[in-house]
Amino acid sequence: MATVPDGLVAVVKRDCPTCTLVEPVLGQLAAAVPLTVYSQDDPAFPDGLPVVDDRELETSWRLGVETVPTLLRVEDGVETGRVVGWLRSQWEEFTGVRGLGDGLPEHRPGCGSRSVEWGVEEELARRYGGRVLASRQVELADLEDDVEAMYDRGWTDGLPTVTPTEERVVRMLAGTSRAPDEVVAVVPPDLVECTVEKVAVNAVLAGCLPEHLPVVLAAVEAACRDEFALHGVLATTYFAGPVLVVNGPVTRRLRMNSGINALGQGNRANATIGRALQLVVRNVGGGRPGEVDRATLGSPGKFTFCFAEAEDELSPFEPLAASRGVPGSAVTVFAGSGLIPVTDQASRTPESLARTYALVLRTVGHPKSALGMDALLIVSPEHGRVFREGGWDRARLLAELEPLLVMQPDELRRGSLGIAEGMPPGLDDRPLPKFRTGGLLVAYAGGPAGMFSAVVGGWASGATGSSPVTVPIEEAAWPAS
């Protein structure tokens, strides 16, 4: 692209009522000061002035023009100011030329620049932005249905997906400042290096927006850490899959659901972020059901299981991520199965409610097993109110639950209670905690009505299984909210 000359620079298009309105104003300016006019749709507009043809929109894209008319000031090759639309007093102050547009309305808003029209912006970014995608492009026949083609090729989770065109992937990559070829993680089970671009492709498939991408990248990084043991989570015959708990300002920026139906359907960010992680595991790592994924029953959460933790003034707890040493925007990945409901509509003291929680938590995996699995307790606002009014924080709740979750030999021994299942010999002759140290997580979410909480049972825990992982979410690419 030729360098934009110093002086005033106007970007216009004939197909804009405000641009045609200010056509005489541009003539006045050209007679008084150095002015260069770029036209997006007609090199003969404005009439009677030298015009630079910008129908290819390269200059408009490089200047970041979103509205026409846009008037810029360039000094020594650097933009030093701009005004958008038409406001006589603003144009006169900006240009130093008085008496502009006598007889014209005082103010008119501009029109959308052609460079930001749907589909055009992504094509311009691909053409002029220097982002060349490395992913292999699959050509479909003219009569081939995109949705059916992706299903036939095994790229989906069984639900329809969004076609990852080059333009859509480029648009998705705009959600992060990370380089497309940067390796985010090595994805099990095939141990394939996964780049930012590959994550973006699967985020498109999942239906994410570009602003969701940093959360997906963090989730992929967390799930692929050795301590999470993603290969084991996939290969087990158990129900487990990645559960994402998102904290921090990002949840408000993305309008994630932490309230009514927080664990259910209806919120795009919740649904697609969790789905994108699952598609990365499937399409990059090779983790497909019936192959490496050997779950006996699986769970609906293996489509997506992602929610935001509520962090309002009513919460009795500090954010989960902050309690794990990662303040601010962060994602915690937990190897979880389905929900175990907790119903207690009578407890009005923390002590009573904690005992209810303990009884339900004892059922995780099996009521006669200890130390084998972690768990995630999700406390609802009505139950949270009981703890808040009682002055209990997360640490107090966990401390009170600890002795309630110690299991006695008669509860553990094989054959006791008429049940063959139980702890093996050598682990059945002493009291044992239900969970290992740090193996019980507590989050806060849900609608304001209903005295229901939930337990999400984990998979095998610790060194022989999976540990929760919390990582920060990159926010550098986003404007301040």
The tens digit of pLDDT for each residue in 221-279 reads: 999 999 999 999 999 999 999 999 999 999 999 999 999 999 999 999 999 999 999 99
Claim to verify: residue 117 and residue 159 sit in the same structural domain: no
**The total number of structural domains that make up the chain:** 2
Q: What is the pLDDT of residue 361?
A: 98
Claim to verify: residue 383 and residue 319 sit in the same structural domain: yes
* 126 has a pLDDT exceeding 80: no
pTM of the model: 0.80
Given pLDDT bands bounded at 50, 70 and 90, which one contains residue 480? very low
Can you list the positions of beta strands (E) in 291-329? Answer: 306-308
Claim to verify: residue 278 and residue 342 sit in the same structural domain: yes
* 476 has a pLDDT exceeding 60: no
Mean pLDDT, residues 206-232 taken together: 97
Claim to verify: residue 262 and residue 321 sit in the same structural domain: yes
Residue 201 maps to a domain: yes
Q: Is the dihedral of CA 191, 195, 201, 207 positive or negative?
A: positive
Q: What is the pLDDT of residue 304?
A: 97
Can you list the positions of beta strands (E) in 303-364? Answer: 306-308, 330-343
Computed over every residue of the chain, the mean pLDDT equals 94
Which residue is it, tokens 């003291």? 349
Claim to verify: residue 239 and residue 352 sit in the same structural domain: yes
Query: Are the CB atoms for 195 and 184 separated by under 8 Å?
Result: yes
Mean pLDDT, residues 141-156 taken together: 90
Q: Could you give the CA distance from residue 440 to residue 105 in angstroms, rounded to a whole number?
A: 67
Q: What is the pLDDT of residue 2?
A: 59
Claim to verify: residue 119 and residue 172 sit in the same structural domain: no
* 131 has a pLDDT exceeding 70: no
Residue 141 maps to a domain: no
Claim to verify: residue 81 and residue 229 sit in the same structural domain: no
Residue 250 maps to a domain: yes
Domain boundary among 91, 125, 159: 125
- Tens of pLDDT, residue by residue over 47-98, are 999 999 999 999 999 999 999 999 999 999 999 999 999 999 999 999 999 9
Which of the 8 DSSP states describes residue 106? S
Q: What is the pLDDT of residue 249?
A: 97
- Tens of pLDDT, residue by residue over 269-314, are 999 999 999 999 999 999 999 899 989 999 999 999 999 999 999 9
Residue 2 maps to a domain: no
Q: What is the pLDDT of residue 140?
A: 81
Query: Are the CB atoms for 433 and 427 separated by under 8 Å?
Result: no
Q: Could you give the CA distance from residue 362 to residue 269 in angstroms, rounded to a whole number?
A: 33
Report the percentage of the chain scoring pLDDT > 70: 98
Alpha helices in 153-212 (DSSP H): 166-173, 196-206
- Tens of pLDDT, residue by residue over 333-353, are 999 999 999 999 999 999 999
Claim to verify: residue 96 and residue 202 sit in the same structural domain: no
Claim to verify: residue 90 and residue 156 sit in the same structural domain: no
Which of the 8 DSSP states describes residue 57? -
Residue 194 maps to a domain: yes
Q: What is the pLDDT of residue 473?
A: 97
Query: Are the CB atoms for 461 and 467 separated by under 8 Å?
Result: yes
Given pLDDT bands bounded at 50, 70 and 90, which one contains residue 167? confident
Claim to verify: residue 174 and residue 117 sit in the same structural domain: no
Q: Which CATH number belongs to the domain containing residue 65 in this structure?
A: 3.40.30.10
Residue 261 maps to a domain: yes
Given pLDDT bands bounded at 50, 70 and 90, which one contains residue 158? very high
Report phi then psi at 456, rounded to 5.
-110, 110
Claim to verify: residue 178 and residue 35 sit in the same structural domain: no
Q: Could you give the CA distance from residue 256 to residue 252 in angstroms, rounded to a whole number?
A: 6
Chain centroid offset of residue 382 CA: 28
Given pLDDT bands bounded at 50, 70 and 90, which one contains residue 108? very high
Query: Are the CB atoms for 17 and 74 separated by under 8 Å?
Result: no
Given pLDDT bands bounded at 50, 70 and 90, which one contains residue 132? low
* 329 has a pLDDT exceeding 80: yes
Q: What is the pLDDT of residue 138?
A: 85
Residue 436 maps to a domain: yes
Q: Could you give the CA distance from residue 194 to residue 185 in angstroms, rounded to a whole number?
A: 6
* 144 has a pLDDT exceeding 90: no
Cα–Cα nearest to 477, from 214, 148, 91: 214
Q: What is the pLDDT of residue 437?
A: 93
Q: What is the pLDDT of residue 317?
A: 97
Claim to verify: residue 120 and residue 269 sit in the same structural domain: no
* 1 has a pLDDT exceeding 60: no
Report the percentage of the chain scoring pLDDT > 90: 89
* 464 has a pLDDT exceeding 90: no
**In which domain, by residue range, is 208 found?**
150-472
Residue 135 maps to a domain: no
